Amino acid sequence: MEQNGLLQKINKLVPGAILEKQRFGRSAELCLWVESEKLRELCVALKNDPAAELDWLENFSAMQLEDALVFTYFIRSTRTKERLILRSSVELTSPLERIDFQSLAGVWGMAEPQEREIAELFGIRFVDENGASAEYAKTASNHWKGFPLRKSFVFDGDKGTRGGPR
């Protein structure tokens, strides 16, 4: 389905979700900025829509751009050749607190392991539709303070577990 048709369909299904449309880097792929409140609604609609059927989350990547965390979802269909990139962002309020964001683990199977990692390394609480956040078994034990992949993380150097040579 070509891009304009997809956009019109999305606007009909979930009005007001799309904030901006842009080109992803230098590629020809369509990248949509989505309002974070309407993200799960939009994803469920895209997954269940029979023409688009975007049922495979290929990659879920998070990054920090200045003061905001930007989430990028690379979704595609296992049956057709449809691909789409969704983006959403959330403001980083304080460096040491966890931020809430919508969880898409119920929508796509691949979201769960990546959300678990991003939750721990960026400091996010992924909240599902009932308002509960999954108690993820930690990817790595939290012997560090703060959230490593944020730009504000401070490396406190050699921790000297046995007092060996520096």
Partner 1 sequence: MNGKFYLSTVGKVLDWARSQSLWYFSAGTSCCSNELLATLGCRYDLERFGCLPQVDPRQSDLLIITGAISYKAAPHLKQLYDSMLSPKLVLAVGSCANCGGPFAPDVSYSVVPGANRVIPVDVYIPGCPPRPEAIMNGLIALQERLRGTERASTKNK
Partner 2 sequence: MIESLKTDLTQWEIGPYDHSLPGPMLLRLRLDGELIVAGEVETGFLHRGLEKAFERQLWRSAIPYADRLDPEGAVFGELALCLAAEEIAALEVPSRAQSIRVILSELTRISAHMGYIVRVARAVGSETMVHYVLRDREKILDLFELATGARVSLNFLRFGGVQADVTEGFIERVLEICELLRIRLKEYNDLFTYNHAFIKRTRGIGTIAPEVARTFGVTGPNARASGISFDVRKEHPYSGYDFLDFEVPIGRRESQHLGDANHRFLLRLQEISTSIEILKQSAEAISPGPFALRKPEESFEVPRGEAYIRIESSRGLLGCHLVSDGGAYPARIQFRPPSLALLSVLPQLVRGIRIEDLPVVLATLDIGIAEADR
Amino acid found at 101:
F
Q: Which is nearer to partner 1, 33 or 136 (CB)?
A: 136
Q: Does 61 bind partner 2 (CB under 8 A)?
A: yes
Q: In the numeric block, which tokens belong to residue 19?
A: 């904030």
Which residues, at least 6 apart from 163, have a Cβ–Cβ distance to it below 8 Å?
A: none
Residue 26 partner contact from partner 2, partner 1, none using kind-dependent CB cut-offs of 5 to 8 Å = partner 2
| DSSP-assigned beta bridge partners for residue 21 | 32
Q: Which is nearer to partner 2, 28 or 132 (CB)?
A: 28
Q: Does 114 bind partner 2 (CB under 8 A)?
A: yes
Interaction residues for partner 2, span 70-109 (CB under 8 A): 72, 74, 78, 85, 108-109
Q: In the numeric block, which tokens belong to residue 83?
A: 């691909």
Q: Are 110 and 60 in contact (CB under 8 A)?
A: yes
Which chain residues interact with partner 1 by CB under 8 A? Answer: 140-141, 143-144, 148, 153, 155, 157-162, 164
Identify the CA nearest to 70 among candidates 133, 7, 124, 6.
Answer: 124
Q: Which is nearer to partner 1, 108 or 147 (CB)?
A: 147
